[in-house]
Structure 1
Amino acid sequence: MRIIIERSNLLKSLAHVHRVVERRNTIPILSNVLLRASGDGLGLKATDLDLEITESVAAQSEQDGATTVPAHLLYDIVRKLPDGSEVKLALNGEGTQMTVSAGRSNFRLQCLPESDFPDITAGELSHSFEIKAAELSRLIERTQFAISTEETRYYLNGIYLHTIESGSDLMLRAVATDGHRLARAEMEAPAGSEGMPGIIVPRKTVGEIQKLLGDGEDEAMVRIELSDSKIRFSLGQIVMTSKLIDGTFPDYQRVIPQNNDKELTLDRQSFSAAVDRVSTISSERGRAVKLSLVDSQLTLTVNSPDSGTATEELAVGYESDDLEIGFNARYLLDITGQLSGEDAVFMLADPGSPTLIKDGGDPATLYVLMPMRV
């Protein structure tokens, strides 16, 4: 194998694939990236056995071949090479070492054979559809923060993607919850998604696809192929295949309140800034902030036994009975950070019941937040 490639092209592709590789591996081959030179291109592949990413990049192959080298090490080397340089990758006769050279820089890396590299076989993917990168990114962005990190409730460690009938329309819906808060976003279901199984896309896969979408064009199309155990995303020359979480997502509809009749309308930015300020008094970001509503005035209060007390008042739209309710300050900031409109609408019931939060700028999203005792 001998190939010449522009540094910028190689670096961009390595940046995409090396993130999948875990820093610590008990299986040496999983620390490596597979490089395959053929014709006028270089193929790269990395995996952690649950998630696999491949990418093809233009290159000048002088001798076709394949090998695997340490992914993070190769990325760091290429990252530190001079801008605009041409990188030569050459395998020695025994296939045990690869030389990486650019200008006066030369590196020799230990290789492991291509035949040892694992392959995630996707099997038959029963459903296939295309979606705009910007739309997929919005679904993920609006819900990703609510994914649970509690490993014992593994079925909450991802985004639940499914189709649902809403009136006469079929919607593609993304839901995430950690038991304390719930985020739901939806869009018109793309052609081909009808009858797809409800799937739970793992947290790591969600994070990686969101990074890839951030590097691409908003108008680009992403092809999604899925079955009840695997999902594949194709974006340009990048293909990501992932196992899905094998579990049943809870019936989230039951926790979305239907009869909350106390409506609170407030300016999102002013409210978010006020929550951030009063929560400064507490060393714990998860400290409860108390919301006291009287007529059209909201008073935010945080009490800390160690530091003291903070209060702030805001003028809001509220015409229901007086109410005091507490929320986790960090959760409030997470949700208000996702809202796109100027106004946020809180639908409240009582101090012990979940609150429904709507985005004035995006009716296709909603959030549920459990209260805290204050």
Structure 2
Amino acid sequence: MRVTLERAALLKALAHVHRVVERRNTIPILANVLLRAGDGGLKLQATDLDLEIVERVAAEVAQGGATTVPAHTFYDIVRKLPDGSQVALEMTGERGQLTIRAGRSRFTLQTLPDSDFPDLAAGELPVRFEIGAADLRRLIDKTQFAISTEETRYYLNGIYLHVADLPGGATLRAVATDGHRLARVELAAPSGAKGMPGVIVPRKTVSEIQRLVEDPEGLVAVELSATKIRVSFGQAVLTSKLIDGTFPDYNRVIPTGNDKRLTVDRAEFASAVDRVSTISSERGRAVKLSLADRKLVLTVTNPDSGNATEEIEVDYDSDPLDIGFNSRYLLDIASQLEGDTALIRLADPGSPTLVQDRDDAPALYVLMPMRV
């Protein structure tokens, strides 16, 4: 194999594929990235057996061939090469080493045979549709923070993607929850998505899709079955297994009878929560919201360090109410809202609270209260 290509193009592709590779591997070949040179340029491929990314790069191929090299070492070498340099890759020596040349720099890496590299066969993916990159990023960005990290509840360790049939037409929904908060975002279902199975996309896959889809102007091709998903964007193709589990009926936890309406300036509210939570304990993080006529008082009490209060004007004309929340969760939700104001609908101190930009907003958040 003998290939020459631009450092910037190689670095961009490596930045996508090397992240899939775990730092610690019991199977040596999984620590490597596959390089395959041919008529289409250079193909890079990495996998952890659950997730695979393949990306093609334009290259001048003097001699075809394939090998595998340590992914993180290769990425670090290319990252540190001078901007604008041309990188030459060549298999040398009887032991099959890869030589990397750029300007006056020369590196030699040990390789493993490409024949040992596993291929994540996707099988038949019957559902196919295209979605705008900006729309896909929106579905992920506004729900990702609520994904559970509790491994025992593995079915919550991802985003639930499904199509809901509503009176106004079919919608594509993304839902995530960790049991304390829930995020649901929807948009009009793309052509071809109707009839798709409800799937749970794993947390790591979600993060890689988010990084892969960089240009908001592009289109993303999505193919999926009940067990696998493939996302194609530009020259990159990501294939992943899905979580084999049943996502809970999230509609049961979305309150419908919350009659107390609080409208507050989003930025002012977030700043106030952030300020008073400075005093909160790392473990508790509880902030009490005391609501009365057109007034909200935020209070944090920490027996070890002191207390903090702040009062802001709000639009609220229901009965007085004291309710507590995790301040971190409040700030996470506030950062996802897009409007100048936040609409918070409450019932009582022990019931779930609903947060939106406005009535009928496409993004909806549910937050469980805390005892304070």
On whether the aligned pair clears a TM of 0.5, the verdict is: yes
CA contact (8 A) 1:343 1:361 kept: no
- Equivalent-residue separation in structure 1 for 2:184 and 2:137 (angstroms): 14
Q: Alpha-carbon deviation of 1:168? A: 3.2
CA deviation vs aligned residue, 1:79-106 (integer Å, no higher than 9, x gap): 1111111111000253621000111111
- Equivalent-residue separation in structure 2 for 1:38 and 1:259 (angstroms): 62
CA contact (8 A) 2:5 2:59 kept: yes
CA contact (8 A) 1:301 1:312 kept: yes
The residue that corresponds to 2:21 in the other structure is 21
CA contact (8 A) 1:161 1:174 kept: yes
The residue that corresponds to 2:188 in the other structure is 188
> Secondary structure of 2:160's partner?
strand
CA deviation vs aligned residue, 1:171-216 (integer Å, no higher than 9, x gap): 0000000000000000000010111000000000000100112x2x
The residue that corresponds to 1:104 in the other structure is 104
CA contact (8 A) 2:36 2:44 kept: yes
CA deviation vs aligned residue, 1:311-336 (integer Å, no higher than 9, x gap): 00000000100000000000000000
- Equivalent-residue separation in structure 2 for 1:345 and 1:218 (angstroms): 28
- Equivalent-residue separation in structure 2 for 1:39 and 1:258 (angstroms): 59
CA contact (8 A) 2:280 2:286 kept: no
Q: Tell me whether 276-285 or 134-143 shows the greater mean CA deviation.
A: 276-285
- Equivalent-residue separation in structure 2 for 1:341 and 1:95 (angstroms): 61
The residue that corresponds to 2:247 in the other structure is 249
The residue that corresponds to 1:89 in the other structure is 89
Q: Alpha-carbon deviation of 1:39? A: 2.4
- Equivalent-residue separation in structure 2 for 1:362 and 1:46 (angstroms): 42
CA contact (8 A) 2:264 2:341 kept: yes
The residue that corresponds to 1:198 in the other structure is 198
The residue that corresponds to 1:6 in the other structure is 6
Q: Structure 1 stretches of 5 or more lacking a match?
A: none
The residue that corresponds to 1:290 in the other structure is 288
| Letter of the 2:335 counterpart | G
Task: State the superposition RMSD in angstroms.
Answer: 1.1
- Equivalent-residue separation in structure 2 for 1:65 and 1:234 (angstroms): 25
Matches within 5 A, 1:309-324: 309-324=307-322
CA contact (8 A) 1:340 1:360 kept: no
The residue that corresponds to 2:261 in the other structure is 263
The residue that corresponds to 1:225 in the other structure is 223
> Secondary structure of 1:187's partner?
strand
CA deviation vs aligned residue, 1:329-354 (integer Å, no higher than 9, x gap): 00000000100100100110000000
The residue that corresponds to 2:165 in the other structure is 165
- Equivalent-residue separation in structure 2 for 1:135 and 1:159 (angstroms): 15
- Equivalent-residue separation in structure 2 for 1:237 and 1:360 (angstroms): 39
Pick from 352, 368, 371: which aligns with 1:370?
368
Pick from 355, 358, 362: which aligns with 1:357?
355
Distance 1:95 1:192, change over 3 A: farther
- Equivalent-residue separation in structure 2 for 1:287 and 1:237 (angstroms): 44
- Give the length in aligned residue pairs: 372
TM-score normalised by length of structure 1: 0.98
> Secondary structure of 2:261's partner?
strand
Q: Alpha-carbon deviation of 1:287? A: 1.3
| Letter of the 2:356 counterpart | K
Aligned-residue identity in percent = 69
CA contact (8 A) 1:39 1:60 kept: no
The residue that corresponds to 2:76 in the other structure is 76
Q: Tell me whether 233-242 or 279-288 shows the greater mean CA deviation.
A: 279-288
CA deviation vs aligned residue, 1:283-322 (integer Å, no higher than 9, x gap): 4175110000010000000000111000000000001000
> Secondary structure of 1:140's partner?
helix
> Secondary structure of 1:19's partner?
helix
CA contact (8 A) 1:285 1:329 kept: no
- Equivalent-residue separation in structure 2 for 1:93 and 1:125 (angstroms): 42
Q: Tell me whether 148-157 or 163-172 shows the greater mean CA deviation.
A: 163-172
Q: Alpha-carbon deviation of 1:126? A: 1.3
| Letter of the 1:37 counterpart | A
> Secondary structure of 2:14's partner?
helix
CA contact (8 A) 1:341 1:362 kept: no
CA deviation vs aligned residue, 1:29-53 (integer Å, no higher than 9, x gap): 0000000011251000000000000
- Equivalent-residue separation in structure 2 for 1:175 and 1:10 (angstroms): 35
> Secondary structure of 1:318's partner?
coil
| Letter of the 1:107 counterpart | F
The residue that corresponds to 1:145 in the other structure is 145
| Letter of the 1:36 counterpart | R
- Equivalent-residue separation in structure 1 for 2:204 and 2:12 (angstroms): 20
- Equivalent-residue separation in structure 2 for 1:362 and 1:330 (angstroms): 25
- Equivalent-residue separation in structure 2 for 1:29 and 1:361 (angstroms): 52
- Equivalent-residue separation in structure 1 for 2:129 and 2:39 (angstroms): 31
- Equivalent-residue separation in structure 1 for 2:56 and 2:189 (angstroms): 30
